Structure 1
């Protein structure tokens, strides 16, 4: 008699509520993505761009060596002042789709959308659907992140790198596996290519979180050391390659004294950002943008930063405390809390910065608030949820009252929604992550910053992008000379006001906005740019110059030489990638080219024309700088052109 084999067990059909939950989550991701895209991409084609960074994307698109080094000019004379990681994708967009404002800004907007979605997915792993939704919503409505992602400033790709780091780190700590910690270290290295040392500030939190996982101390320490060394090695890979290439075979490294990539990253972009306390002018340049007030404990709550990022700091700190109180796994509050506090201390201590530097806080703040809220909801504890709602709504109203640029009625409406959310919390079973409830709670927490973010659509600024009703930001006193030149010089020529009061415009300044006028016996800006960069005067003057030099330069390597990268950038963009020699690099005082190298280039017929009007960057007449010596030589040895309808143009070689 045949024995029948038992039929294989049938796979259990997915339960309806699980299907609904998955569908709801996918719908939530679509809503988050579309919302973030609306805030970052809408009207981007009419947006503002920094001509300096736009010229870099255009120049990098011309050749693979320029792409790798981050060349400022198509001839590959000098690089930008940082590792070019944030510009590789925009340069590829320009290469594929042609140069336009949309092409150089869209990659940054898409990076912000991606950061929103990745943070949401990470939050869901930490605490479920509610955590994921709220974490993604926080990133999508962080005002300063939305503002900077609508420009071509190098920030959005850094935030994306941080979001990817968090995603891999959470998996590493949930599974206690080296491979995921290694991947987190790889993403830190990728973020390093975008913003250098700021990326390494994540590592204390990564290490603390992983050391809280359940495995032997030997394995934990060994894994952290292995991943840390791998991350460090990958981080400095670009630096090491550039350092090994002979100086004569690559562009000069911008904003360095000694054409050294280690100096550029760890000096100028590292210790140099902390001002006189760490600056060593004989070893490296320093740079402290004057847009965010003075260092201090309450810096992130000033008029410049409160509505940009500071609005969520109280709730984020409260959330970290709630994670401890609610007995979350130790690695969770070690990771998000350590990350948050490290970045808060760093931004409070750095000497000077743009407001958009603080966009990096969006990821740890989002994960801390989302995780605390999700933890409380899953435990059925309502008071932490109510407290988070109260703090966020109260902070929004406080900022609206304290700083007139932010709408008090909008903040008041958020408070009303927060009260409605509290009433709904009392009636809704806590364990059910119904998105109607979560949506109302999100509105009660985020309505005001969402509106502040939306305002950035109609207030574009490429030099100092900010959100809300504070598009004009006082820079405060005490910032003059090259430091202000570097901060202000990136405005698109002809853009007039670029986010600062007191009559600031490309190439000139007034006494308003906390910036004192120069003393009667002190240095004064040169005509058409002086120490503050920008274009010549924009429009027809640039067109007349380019038309003339193109007609008379012949086959010279450079159409024209100018002083400072800001002016060169304007001409490079308006000539669609024409070769312009930026004497002095970004600051105007880089030793590139040297006087001897410049005279040799003139003798070889490579530089037929030099424009001395509209001297940009930090050029201010210091006789010890290469730029000043070159200017003196040009005025003594070249012939001023009188038939070009351009002031200050000199012919330095036979036509």
Structure 2
């Protein structure tokens, strides 16, 4: 039997629906069990969500504070979803994280559907199971960073593009562009990593003259740019005096944020120190750029378990020469993201690898069934299946060896299962026959060997509180769990907060502090509007000394807490041009405002309004 004459799997199977229900049930457990244990997760974004529930203006801009002084460092779409949930169910850690969990479950269902439709029910279940058990998927889905929504939107975009490939119609292509545009408003340029593969797949997979396909891609490009830039253009068109400062930008525009911190700075390195999310100690900080970035350190344990099987499966699928456009779509998306993530010289963290999970899962699904079909041909390509299973087992043992105290019996078990499966599946290639039962047992052993490692890591977020900043799924013996909000040690103490709350008279801001790392916990603890001087880590050039004086003199701000430098310094703060502006503003405070006795570094600027 040749590779081209392999009989395809039936499109339906009675076991498919119960199997899907089981996988979705597993995803629901992994993504929602004990969800409230993570508290507010990333307090930086949670504070913005709370502010969005108090002010529709803060909702629109994605402001950290309800007083609309400064925005967070991302477009606000993910915050909008979480804020709407909080408005419906009441603000809590659970109401913020619930949309994330639902998005994760939806992504699993979509991956199953698109894979099953093109490659059969077995491929669909394999893909859904692979996505469900990817460790970083579990960690990020239980967290409030915007990556979960990004993954869902890009998966929807790929699904819509797959519809366009099957039907040749324009509408699914435009829907794909719409979804990518929404993903852009979640995490900016990272959303465009799908675009090259999507365009190439459309050109290859849709019949018709080239001019028509290019014209339709141009129309999709118009939709993509229109949706992508809608919020950016709307905000930048508003006078700076009438809107909040754009956090992490150098010139108070979303455009600079796009091309700077959230754009070219990610690829080629940041031009300014102290940008949000700089690598610091603790779990999830990421590896240095290089070809092995995704394989070494803690990164490998989040995403790389099934790389050998995925590469072999992708090769097998190309050998079979079926669904070429779909292979270009999913394989191209996967490889593009791998290359960009491996070479990016700017800020990069381990949990970003969740963007690899959907295309990797689909490649594993289609590749797994392709490997089996090639195995049935008894050609030289048939050796790909047993060899890739053995390699996957040894690779899993290597990754498990990085956490030797965690399930110490598992590495050798995985290796033995993988070898047993590989040797058994090699027997027919040597001219011997196997019974169906023996073959099924060998395939089951291979599947267990492949998934045991990622499953062992995937369950850890259910019992270990993940980092408030960098969510990863890793045994507690090595992961750095930081359940508290960062910056609390440098924030106002109880005496200072009691004094502020007693004296608060509905000013625009109850308090100003240095950096969002200090402001966010105060916002969450008190519900009051708190100005984050200098943005995320005190490096944004806002407010100037003159602006701060005007806020004080107009009665919009009374109290300023001047401590917090040790917290923002962890993230590279208190240096650079922006920090100079901030220091000038703080110098005015210490020179003109009165230190409140018994409250640490709390200054009352009411006297400044009386004497100026």
Superposition TM-score tier, normalisation by shorter sequence: 0.7 to 0.9
The farther-off stretch of 258-267 and 416-425 is: 416-425
- Higher mean Cα deviation, 358-367 or 398-407? 398-407
Deviations 1:206-246 (A, max 9, x none): 11111112332222222222223321221111111111122
Whether 1:649 aligns to 2:602 is yes
* CA distance 1:581–1:402, shift in 2 (3 Å): closer
Aligned to 1:368: 363
1:10-49 equivalences in 2 (<5 Å) = 21=12, 23-48=14-39, 49=41
Q: 1:439 Cα deviation (Å)?
A: 6.3
Q: Secondary structure at the match of 2:302?
A: coil
Contact 1:622/1:628, CA 8 A, preserved across alignment: no
CA distance in structure 2 between the partners assigned to 1:416 and 1:187 by the alignment: 44
- 1:84 corresponding residue in structure 2: 76
Aligned equivalent of 2:520, options 560, 565, 569: 569
The equivalent residue for 2:337 is 343
Q: 1:373 to 1:76 in 2, by over 3 A?
A: same
The worse-fitting range, judged by mean Cα deviation, of 351-360 and 224-233 is: 224-233
Shift in alpha-carbon separation, 1:360–1:605, aligned structure 2, 3 A: same
Rate the CA distance shift 1:156–1:605 in 2: closer, same or farther, 3 A: same
Q: 1:174 to 1:388 in 2, by over 3 A?
A: farther
Q: Is the 8 A contact 1:634 1:652 kept in 2?
A: yes
Could you say if the C-alpha distance between residues 240 and 218 of structure 1 is closer, same or farther in structure 2, counting changes exceeding 3 Å?
A: same
Counterpart in the other structure of 1:289: 279
Match of 2:101 in 1: 109
Shift of 1:414: 3.4
Q: What is the Cα deviation at residue 470 of structure 1?
A: 6.5
In structure 2, the partner of 1:140 is: 132
Which ranges in structure 2 are unaligned for 5 or more consecutive residues? 1-8, 429-433
Q: 1:556 aligns with which of 501, 507, 513?
A: 507
1:453 to 452, 458, 480: 458
Of structures 1 and 2, the one scoring higher in RCO (CA 8 A, sep 6+) is: 2
Once the two structures are superposed, the pairs formed by residues 165-314 of structure 1 within 5 Å of their partners are: 165-213=157-205, 214-276=207-269, 279-280=270-271, 288-289=278-279, 291-314=285-308
**Shift in CA distance, 536/652, structure 1 to aligned 2, threshold 3 Å:** farther
- Partners of 1:157 and 1:264 lie apart in 2 by 20
Tell me the CA shift for residue 437 of structure 1.
Answer: 8.9
| Pair 1:405–1:606, CA change in 2 (3 A) | farther
Q: How many angstroms apart in 2 are the aligned matches of 1:170 and 1:386?
A: 31
Counterpart in the other structure of 2:470: 464
C-alpha deviations, 1:371-420, integer Å up to 9, x for none? 12223445644644434433322220122235547645324333444456
**TM-score under structure 2 length normalisation:** 0.87
C-alpha RMSD over aligned residues: 2.9
Aligned partner of residue 298 in structure 2, secondary structure: coil
**Residue correspondences, number:** 574
- Is the 2:539–2:576 contact (alpha carbons within 8 Å) kept by the matching residues of 1? no
Question: So what's the TM-score if we normalise by structure 1?
Answer: 0.81
> Which residue in the other structure is 2:4 paired with?
none
1:166 and 1:444 map into 2 onto residues whose CA distance is 29
* Structure 1 residue aligned with 2:535: 585
Judged with a 3 Å threshold, the aligned counterparts in structure 2 of structure 1 residues 361 and 274 are, in CA distance, closer, same or farther, namely same
Task: Give the whole-Å Cα distance in 1 for the aligned partners of 2:520 and 2:258.
Answer: 22
Q: How far is the alpha carbon of 1:651 from its aligned partner? A: 0.8
Deviates more, 1:383-392 or 1:163-172: 383-392
Residue 444 in structure 1 maps to residue 452 in structure 2? no
In the TM superposition, what is the alpha-carbon distance from 1:428 to its structure 2 partner? 6.9
Offset of residue 368 of structure 1: 1.1
Contact persistence 1:273–1:286 (CA under 8 A): no
- Structure 1 portions without partners, runs of 5+: 1-16, 475-487, 496-505, 507-533
1:412 aligns with 2:412: yes
1:544 aligns with 2:537: no
Judge which range, 317-326 or 81-90, deviates more.
317-326
Structure with the larger helix share: 2
Aligned-partner Cα distance in 2 for 1:172–1:309: 29
Cα deviation for residue 341 of structure 1 reads 1.2
What residue number does 2:574 align with?
620
Which whole-Å CA distance do the structure 2 matches of 1:327 and 1:408 have between them? 42
Per-residue deviation, 1:259? 0.8
Question: CA 1:558–1:402 in structure 2 vs 1: closer, same or farther (change >3 Å)?
Answer: closer
Change (3 A) 1:61 1:329: same
CA deviations over 1:143-191 (Å, ceiling 9, x no partner): 1111122222221111111211221122211222222222111111122
1:519-558 Cα deviation digits (max 9, x unpaired): xxxxxxxxxxxxxxx12457xx644322211212334222
Q: 1:241 to 1:80 in 2, by over 3 A?
A: same
- What SS does the corresponding residue of 1:391 show, helix, strand or coil? helix
Residue in 2 aligned with 1:389? 389
